[in-house]
Amino acid sequence: MSLFKARDWWAAVLGEGEEFDQGCLCVGDVDNSGSGHDKIVVGSYMGMLRVFSPHPAKPGEPSPAHSQLLEVQLRDPVIQVEVGKFVSCSDLLHLAVLHPRKLSVYSVSGTAGNVEHGVQYQLKRVYEHNLQRTACNMTYGTFGGVTDHHSLCIQSMDGMLMFFEQESYSFGRFLPGFLLPGPLCYCSRTDTFLTVSSARQVESYKYETLAVATDAETRQDAEQHSKAAGKRLTADWTLVLGEQALDLSVPSFSPSSSSIFVCGERNLYCLKDNGHIRFMKKLEYNPSCFLPYSSVSEGTTNTLVGNHNNMLLVYQDVTLKWAAQLSCSPVAVRDLKGVVVTLSNEGHLQCSYMGTDPSFFSTPKVDAREQDYSQIDSEMKSLQRVIRQATRTQAGVGSTTVVAFSAFLNGQYPPADLTGDVAVSYSSPTGIPRVAQCKFSLPLRLVCCPSAPSKNAKYKITVDTNKPPVNLSEVFPDFLEKSEDKEGNALAFHFLSGPRVTVLASKTSQRYRIQSESFEDIWLVAKELVQRFDRHFAKQGVKDFRNSFAGPIPLAEYFETVDHHFELRVSAEKYQDLLSERAVQFRAIQRRLLTRFKDKTPAPLQNLDTLMEGTYRQVIALADAAEENRACLNQAFVSLRSATHLLILLVSLWQGLNTEQNAILEATLLPLLQDTPQLGWEESVDAAVSHLLRTCLSRSPKDQALSLSTSQLSMPKDTVRLKKHITLLCDRLGKGGRLSLASEANVPMPVMMPGERGEECLCVSLSLSRSLSVSVCV
User: What CATH code is carried by the domain that includes residue 186?
Assistant: 2.130.10.10
Tell me how many degrees the CA angle 164-169-170 measures, rounded to the nearest 5.
80
Q: What is the pLDDT of residue 748?
A: 36
Query: Maximum Cα–Cα distance for the chain, whole Å?
Result: 123
User: Are 524 and 561 within one domain?
Assistant: no
CA distances from 120 to 37, 62, 285, 701 (A): 17, 17, 44, 98
Q: Over range 389-414, report the average pLDDT.
A: 75
608 domain-assigned = yes
**19-36, pLDDT tens digit by residue?**
999 999 999 999 998 888
Please tell me the least confidently modeled range out of 200-209, 383-392, 519-528, 636-645: 383-392
632 domain-assigned = yes
User: Are 578 and 626 within one domain?
Assistant: yes
> pLDDT band at residue 354, thresholds of 50, 70 and 90?
confident
Q: Over range 284-311, report the average pLDDT.
A: 90
Q: What is the pLDDT of residue 360?
A: 56
DSSP state of 363: P
349 domain-assigned = yes
User: Are 163 and 26 within one domain?
Assistant: yes
Q: What is the pLDDT of residue 620?
A: 95
Domain-ending residue, one of 322, 355, 388: 355
pLDDT, mean over the chain? 84
pTM for the predicted model, two decimal places? 0.50
Domain-ending residue, one of 529, 549, 569: 549
Q: Quick check: 762 pLDDT over 50?
A: no
* Residue type at 674 in one-letter notation: Q
> pLDDT band at residue 750, thresholds of 50, 70 and 90?
very low
Q: What is the pLDDT of residue 769?
A: 28
User: Are 537 and 575 within one domain?
Assistant: no
End-to-end Cα, the chain, rounded Å: 64
700 domain-assigned = yes
More confident residue, 740 or 275: 275
392 domain-assigned = no
More confident residue, 508 or 163: 163
396 domain-assigned = no
Q: Work out whether strand 319-325 and strand 330-336 pair parallel, antiparallel, or are unpaired.
A: unpaired
Which residues, in sequence order, are CB contacts of 574 under 8 Å at separation 6+?
A: none
Contact 9, 353 (CB under 8 A): yes
Q: Quick check: 329 pLDDT over 60?
A: yes
Contact 179, 197 (CB under 8 A): yes
User: Are 503 and 586 within one domain?
Assistant: no
CATH number of 454's domain = 3.30.310.200
Q: Over range 473-497, report the average pLDDT.
A: 80
Q: Over range 451-474, report the average pLDDT.
A: 89
Q: What is the pLDDT of residue 55?
A: 82
User: Are 130 and 195 within one domain?
Assistant: yes
Q: What is the pLDDT of residue 363?
A: 63
User: Are 270 and 133 within one domain?
Assistant: yes
**587-613, pLDDT tens digit by residue?**
999 998 888 888 777 778 888 889 999
Domain count, the chain: 3
Q: What is the pLDDT of residue 588?
A: 92
User: Are 592 and 718 within one domain?
Assistant: yes
239 domain-assigned = yes
Buried b or exposed e, range 86-109, using 16+ CB within 10 angstroms: bbeeeeebbbbbbbbeebbbbbbb
User: Are 580 and 699 within one domain?
Assistant: yes
**185-195, pLDDT tens digit by residue?**
999 999 999 99
597 domain-assigned = yes
User: Are 70 and 20 within one domain?
Assistant: yes
**33-76, pLDDT tens digit by residue?**
888 889 999 999 999 999 999 887 665 555 556 788 999 999 99
User: Are 130 and 173 within one domain?
Assistant: yes
Instruction: For residue 54, count CB atoms less than 10 angstroms from its CB and return exposed for 0-12, middle for 13-18, buried for 19 or more.
Output: buried
**Alpha helices, DSSP H only, in 133-194?**
none
> pLDDT band at residue 743, thresholds of 50, 70 and 90?
very low
Structural domain span for residue 119: 5-215+233-355
Q: What is the pLDDT of residue 255?
A: 55
Please tell me the least confidently modeled range out of 51-55, 402-406, 692-696: 402-406
The SS3 call for residue 565 is helix
User: Are 561 and 577 within one domain?
Assistant: yes
Listed residue (753, 681, 751, 757) closest to 722, CA to CA: 681
Domain-ending residue, one of 340, 355, 370: 355
Q: Say whether the peptide bond before residue 552 is cis (omega within 30 degrees of 0).
A: yes
Contact 632, 650 (CB under 8 A): no
